Structure 1
């Protein structure tokens, strides 16, 4: 591709992004919130949270997606947490892209020993009394059927939602979309408070396994 053609393609991409961000403003709707698209590297909002060893998170160049976040866990469990603050009723639709190499062979959401996932995204709803903080945990499950809801084995205030499951679609970039208000109501039986953080986690501490996953384009937007 010539430099001019490449430049035109890049300009068109930026034009589309600008349009995506501008249209809600023109219509009087809440603006789209881009948590990170990783094109400028890893945003400074992301801070590590270490549980058991450090998962390797790094920005790489993907031939089709551009810059993406790669996560590799080798018997480790650490997350990246981005603090935010917004009303989920204004931008309830969470979308993202992800890909995994494979699920954990020994992974099982119903067992603490198997409570490892190649990819997951948390939406955290903080409370002034920290033990009452709640979270939706969107996982690429190992055995839990796609679409399943399951309370965390560690706290009923965190609910796992199997967005994908098993290796059927491993190795493919998938675009996901969830209504976090609807999911919160189903998980906890009431309307959600403000969102206070987003987290990404790839782990393998329970099974001792090695897994890799890739993340891109984490965005909140209003309903259509």
Structure 2
């Protein structure tokens, strides 16, 4: 007589569903844990104020500017072949009004998250893509930064419709860099956030949630 348990196991195992593979993640900004380790300051004009503050599901990074422009950045190598998807959430009090973001005087955003690729001697081939909450340009718009051709702007939100609410995003950075610059970039070297109003003397308050990369 054949053993019963091995026979039952042979019959049942093929019917068990396969477990989904766990998505790989790379943490960048774990603000919900009150963690600002590794984040440095970069000032362009004065100081935007950044501080950890209570949010709807833990701590968030609050930013406020009154005609100032400084950002927080974190140097981190991320393999875009393994984890190409940037995940983040943000909230703004209100968008800027009556500006043209493609001009130098209009290059202000209540929130922006951007990634930096450092390449070339003295950074001459450095590339950056800025994900922004635009005021006039519709979501999906892409345009060169008016100050440098090494950076591309990409509007993922626009206007007042979602102001005051948390908005979450997922972007395939490898695909976006390829579309913006024509290169297949497989590694980024820094991530930054900035709330700025220096070019037009604008005022804003905004909030950033956790930032991380994932495989999908």
TM range (shorter): 0.7 to 0.9
> 1:111 Cα shift?
1.4
CA distance in 1, matches of 2:59, 2:98: 31
Match of 1:208 in 2: 201
CA distance in 2, matches of 1:127, 1:29: 32
Task: Identify which of 103, 109, 116 aligns with 1:117.
Answer: 109
Match of 1:85 in 2: 77
Residue 174 in structure 1 maps to residue 163 in structure 2: no
CA displacement, residues 151-176 of structure 1 (integer Å, 9 cap, x when unaligned): 11111211000000111110000111
CA distance in 1, matches of 2:188, 2:66: 30
Secondary structure class of the residue paired with 2:179: helix
Match of 1:134 in 2: 127
Question: Does structure 2 retain, via aligned residues, the 8 Å contact 1:125–1:193?
Answer: no
> 1:30 Cα shift?
7.6
Distance 1:28 1:176, change over 3 A: closer
Secondary structure class of the residue paired with 1:113: coil
Question: Does structure 2 retain, via aligned residues, the 8 Å contact 1:108–1:116?
Answer: no
Select the structure of larger CA radius of gyration: 2
CA displacement, residues 86-141 of structure 1 (integer Å, 9 cap, x when unaligned): 21121001110100001112432121111100000011011132021000100001
Question: Does structure 2 retain, via aligned residues, the 8 Å contact 1:30–1:90?
Answer: no
How many corresponding residue pairs?
A: 197
Secondary structure class of the residue paired with 1:181: helix
Query: Equivalent residues in 2 for 1:162-201 (5 A)?
Result: 162-201=155-194
Match of 1:31 in 2: 24
Match of 2:140 in 1: 147
> 1:29 Cα shift?
7.5
> 1:27 Cα shift?
8.1
Question: Does structure 2 retain, via aligned residues, the 8 Å contact 1:98–1:216?
Answer: yes
Match of 2:14 in 1: none
CA distance in 2, matches of 1:144, 1:157: 20
Residue 51 in structure 1 maps to residue 26 in structure 2: no
Question: Which structure has the highest helix share of the two?
Answer: 1
Match of 2:214 in 1: 221
Gapped regions of structure 1 (runs ≥ 5): 1-25
CA distance in 2, matches of 1:37, 1:175: 15
CA distance in 2, matches of 1:58, 1:96: 17
> 1:28 Cα shift?
8.1
